Chain A
Amino acid sequence: MLAALRQERPGLRVSQDPMDLLACARDASTEGYLERRHGLLPPGPAAVVWPADEEDVRAVVRAAGRARVPLSPLGAASGVVHGTSPGPSWVVLDLKLLDQVALDPARGWVTAGAGVVGERLERALNAQGFSVGHFPSSIYCSTVGGWVAARGAGQLSSRYGKIEDLCVSLRFVDGKGRFLVLNENEQPGLMQSIIGSEGSLGVITAATLRVHPLPSHRALAGFAAPDVATGLSFMRQVMQAGLRPAVFRMYDPTDTLLAGGIPRPSAPPQVQEGCLGRAGLEDDHAAEASVRNASVDLSVGQGWESRLRQAALRVDVQPHLQEWAGWLLARGPWLRRVACSVPSRCLVVLGLEGTRDDVGESLASSLELARNTGAVLLGRGPGERWLTRRYAVTWKMPPLIRAGGWADTLEASAAWSDLPALYADARAATLRHALTLAHFSHAYPEGASIYFTLAGGGGSLEESRRVHRAAVDAALGVFLRHGAALSHHHGVGRMKAGHLSASLGAGAAGALRGLKSALDPHGILNPGVLGLGGGAS
């Protein structure tokens, strides 16, 4: 296949260098991290190619189809559901050279190549006074194509929507090398079938996304809710009052504790110039600081938990912190008992942006709803702290894995009235296996997403794998029993594929297979994700 391809597209970049193959062998799923920590390097694919334009993509797909070689489209491999896992005979189609960005300011659209990294896109748009409004915590290590392929969400999705809401049109190459442009008016159903297809139906080459003028004003506020139910009631009432906060997150009691507890009230929230979206992207120093803070910044809050933590931090903590994390997680049962007995209060963070009038009115209405529901205002401190650390989570995994622990995240979405029981049952089920914390975010008028973090540690690779899988299956089982969506923005990959039919009904597999056979008749595109096998070798 590669020889024929080199002949057809002499300029195409191809590599079989072991380091290149290793670099694209796995995504950021916990399973892959665990294997690497225990010295198990994945075999990697047979080759990696870097198409420079859509014709290159078509040529690669046609050649793979003729040779029945499976292809794994690749963005930045920051997925966490085992969606990138090429076998030893596969070819990886790395799309990072498809990096064109074209803004149409009059129409309010930007067309970006599938390989454009999120941070670069946002910087380019910010320089011209616009923003996509899509800020995943992986913005430094995820691409436009990856966002679309996984139905991703950004931290400001409650205001700007998820990627499926932002997409105006898509360009993609199907499994037979046919080039298609889909838009939301002429082929809305087909466009929404490609969004979320995780590389199994076609190779997304570019997306046209809505952009928004940079907001002129912002406001941040924090609240303490006496318990999860009260906090959810506050969030629901804000969303159903038509308020569109850019950021709206509630941390459960354990997550609140780990974030430093409920802080003392700080200065009252106020309408300020500037917007939330740009924060953290102003310069490279901010990114570096974000990485540093991810490892060591625990000196937040004023509660008893925080004071205890600060006392510990008077020593030079960095060399010891990773050891502590591993030591703590290895004592799972003890840690989980502590987690179950923490105070029940929850920290809520609210961020607004828009015009001065919009932000002012939204802030006043939100404060009134907080008073009515029993959420106590903590001032603007918690919101400002969240803003400075918003991308930190992306960098937390490697130190934890090095210290002998593991963590994974699962995000379900459900209607408001289903959320309290879903949270309680999933937490109870996963605490048998792992430390469990959660936050509620990505709020909509009809419901919200719960983002669970599961963490464990110690033991052999087999033991870690067994406990990890048991914790994940326990959570997914509860999601299914409650009729919740198994994923809000990570996607399905291979990790959740076995549960898809139970979630969507017995007919779903047939419908997905129908799409697969129509668009990828040779079965060469990322076989295995979404439970869709392939006919390729």
Chain B
Amino acid sequence: MTAHLAFRVEDGLCTASPAVRVEDLVTRARDLGLHVGALATGHQTLAQALAASDPWLRHRLVRAELLTASGSVRTPVAPRAALGPDLNGMAFGRGPPVRELTLRADRAVAWGAREDLPLGQAIALAQALAERGCTLVELRARPARAPTASLEAALPRPALTTLLAPATAHDLPPTPGAPVAAWRLGWTDAEGAWRDLAGLCPRGGAVQLNALDAATVLLRLAVPPATVARARDALKRLGPRWLGAATPVHPQVRLALSLRFHGPRPAPP
């Protein structure tokens, strides 16, 4: 599938096909004075982020165009529609083929960065920035190397340089490996969860935090493939501590949804 990527700068939106490389998306946005909420996601393409049901992409997605067994689904290019169940959700996981996505691309009038911040201080600074409207605040650490984190943020207005001195936008950070899991949490849980995940991190692994908004963060754990299963199990055990009571969806419902909601895939042309 060919990759196409176009920005509507006035609206803070970009339209992309799933084949678009995440790095291209991030770079093109930055060239236009915009950002898409993260610098490193661990995914090579948007299609991979969709397949992994990445909460970052879910949080950014305004519109999806999909090809279902009964025809195309095209949600409106409009914020927060109240048109029944969110059909954009069909784009994720084992959903029908996605033709096009429209994502939010927020303004970045300046960039700021800090290195080697103690974790508590880094998270407090990230939260303060998010509460002032920064929608790209990214913390990264390699826990096996140092107990500190680096912070990079896109500033949507000049006044915020009082919180974080501007810096030249860095080269895109290296992606150490495919993310094992990404968890959406409240800010109050962020530091404890980070420490738990860091404790699981083998040499070479990385923990990353992205501020989603003033209320929530996304924690990513990226580890070498050999430790994927162990980390996934550990994350499952940790999950309820943050999420409160949750019961699994009844298998019959899950099966019914996977069969009926997505429908059989149409034959390729």
Contact = CB atoms under 8 A, between A and B. Distances in A.
24 contacts: A164-B86, A178-B252, A180-B249, A181-B247, A182-B249, A183-B246, A185-B239, A190-B249, A196-B83, A198-B84, A413-B76, A413-B81, A416-B11, A445-B107, A447-B78, A483-B76, A500-B83, A504-B76, A505-B74, A507-B68, A514-B257, A514-B261, A517-B260, A518-B256
B246 to A, nearest CB: 5
A361 interface: yes
Contacts of B107: 240-242, 445
B252 to A, nearest CB: 8
Contacts of A491: 82, 84
B157 A243 contact: yes
A185 B183 contact: yes
A325 B105 CA distance: 46
Contact of A485 (B12, B76, B133, B216): B76
Nearest to B246: A183
B138 interface: no
Interface in A381-422: 412-418
Interface residues of A, number: 92
Interface stretch (A2-10, A46-54, A101-109): A101-109
A484 B80 CA distance: 11
Interface string B181-217: 0011011110000000000000000000000011110
A193 B244 contact: no
Given A184-B184, A488-B82, A515-B260, 6 more contacts: A107-B186, A181-B247, A190-B257, A415-B11, A518-B256, A518-B259
Contact of A519 (B12, B87, B183, B253): B253
A487 to B, nearest CB: 4
B53 to A, nearest CB: 7
Given A210-B215, A413-B79, A483-B76, A201 B183 contact: no
A511 B133 contact: no
A518 B157 contact: no
B167 interface: no
A256 interface: no
Given A182-B249, A242-B106, A358-B131, A446 B93 contact: no
Interface of B: 8, 10-13, 53, 55, 58, 62, 65-87, 89-90, 92-93, 104, 106-107, 131-135, 155-157, 159-160, 162, 183-184, 186-189, 213-216, 239, 243-250, 252-253, 256-257, 259-263
Interface of A: 104, 106-109, 150-153, 161-162, 164-165, 168-169, 174, 178-190, 192-198, 201, 208, 210, 212, 236, 240-244, 354, 358, 361, 364-365, 412-418, 442, 444-449, 483-492, 500, 503-512, 514-515, 517-519, 530
Contact of B261 (A242, A446, A483, A518): A518
Contacts of A446: 11-13, 62, 79, 104
A515 B86 CA distance: 11
A226 B68 CA distance: 46
Nearest to B262: A514
Contacts of B85: 192-197, 201, 512, 515
Nearest to B105: A446
A521 B93 CA distance: 24
Contact of A417 (B10, B53, B248): B10
B243 A186 contact: yes
B84 A413 contact: no
Contacts of A186: 239, 243, 246, 248
A166 B69 CA distance: 32
Nearest to A413: B78
B153 to A, nearest CB: 11
Contacts of A507: 66-73
A164 B183 contact: no
Given A108-B188, A510-B69, A193 B86 contact: yes
A188 B245 contact: no
B133 A189 contact: no
A518 B251 CA distance: 12
Contact of B79 (A181, A193, A447, A517): A447
Contacts of A413: 76, 78-81
A361 B158 CA distance: 11
Contacts of B67: 507
A183 B104 contact: no
A185 B186 CA distance: 12
B132 A109 contact: no
A418 B243 contact: no
B160 A242 contact: yes
A198 B162 CA distance: 46
